[in-house]
Structure 1
Amino acid sequence: MTRPSEVDEAYKQFFRDLPFEQLKPEWEELFLEWLMFDYKPKSGASSLVEYILKDPDHIEKIVRDQFQQIAQTQKYSLFEILEIERSKWFLLEDIYTGKTYKVYEKKGTTQIKNPGQIPGRVANVDGRWYLVGANSVYFPITYTKRLKGKMKRMEIRNFSPKDTVELLRAQENHPPKSPPKVTKKQVSEKRKELQAKYESLAKEYNVTLSITDLLKKIDEENRSALGDFWQEMMKNGLPEKFFFDQWQLLEDVWNYFPHKCLNGLSPVEMFSKLKGRS
């Protein structure tokens, strides 16, 4: 089994210079998963494999066989949720290989309602795929077919819980900014500025989705997954290159123009209204 000195070494490999007192519970869970499945101490075998071989707890044969199946078939990757059968299973696509898995998972399929992405570990036990390891993190984004093709060509095969923690730490260090508190005049001026910028860049990027149509779609959006909304816009004339190059512009358009679901206000106006009450 992994000795204390090896755990210390593993911690340094995983977190580098992160002080122990700054460790978040969800990061610790991912570290323990990595320690069990991926970290190779001097013996050369992972903690799970070593446990199976030594069997210090004399586990039942059926449980031992299941552990062996997990050790032999497990893989960690970034998966996109293609379909959800509540309380039963996910249909997941490995972002880096394109392979799909029908993964049986009761808790996750009751909590997650929309397509998105989850980094996680799957393993096949008795002919069925399951999520194993730490609780999965959910990112409410999806990729276009073109971007998925680029991801496959990158041929990434060593994605691990370390990468997931890096993403979470980056979010921690750079949290999304709250919309500014603004006046009606500032909103009006900002809208004119954004419309002019969009129309100018539309010529450069061959955008066929007019600003009028985009604003209509934003006004009618119904709080579905944001990634799905922009995917729909890309099907309606918003080039993928424009989306990635001009994301800040699109984010500002989203925040400064009206949404019916916000009673005709924009997110920044709603924020200013709520801020005024606090």
Structure 2
Amino acid sequence: MDEVIAEKLDAPAPVIGEVAAGDYRIKVRAARQDAPDSPVLVLAPAMGVPAGYYRKFVAHLHRQGLQVVSYDVRGQGETEPRVTRGIDFGYQDFVDDLDGVLDVVDETFPDTAPRFVLGHSLGGQIAMLHTAARPGRVRGAILIASGAVNYRVYPGLRKYYYNLLGPQAIAAVSAVLGFWPGERFGFGGRQAGGLMRDWARQGRTARWRLSGAATDYDAALERVSAPLLTVTVDNDTLAPKSAMDDLVGRTGGPRTERHYSSADAGAGLDHFKWARNAGELSGWIGDWVRGVLER
């Protein structure tokens, strides 16, 4: 299986199930190992990024002996329909969808296969919020190039434009149009208005208040005891270390911090490019997962 994935990076992994999510049917794909009890990583993608973007990263993780489950979130990649006026969802829906993906994992993999969540950017936020809301469901969480949106923790004066006014303007446009046409503005892709309002609210208030959520996420984050691996990357102005620290700083579990540099990768990096140059990073992840399981 490893050779197949390595040689056919443009071919998606096999579908192992679907999640019913409102008007959506989310296909769940898995790069599996011959040993069915190998650790399973569920990969939550960044805003506007299709799951296919991570195929090379998935191949590297697979070489580490890990089983990798991937999926496209609502309205992205192969998950249709595309977002438009009248279609709305938010962060809580994404948390619920990740839980549904883990239900598919439970139906497919044996109980002896440890479960982990791995999230990039917005996917890291969702992975962290899910870990807080569903304690004990996964053994640990891996966050890459992720962080809170809270404008206060970003460096320099640019934060007032890019991290405060920018998100609020996006939320306002989303409220008027009924969705965010990010493909026209070069940010985030086409997204539901509710998702962008949740995103902007966190940036403005520094609180995790999700529309329609029954969970007090600020309190739940303080109770997280699962191990965390947090990875920042070079040239990442969207998720600097201060944003990552703000996202996970209230949690109480053991945290391993790493920074992935261009020297580590052997190539230039930024908020997105790391996924195409993740051989060394995948080794770190494999070592960390094995370390967690040895505790």
Q: TM-score, normalised by structure 1?
A: 0.22
Higher CA-based Rg: 1
Query: Which one has the bigger helix percentage?
Result: 1
Query: Which one has the bigger strand percentage?
Result: 2
Q: TM-score, normalised by structure 2?
A: 0.21
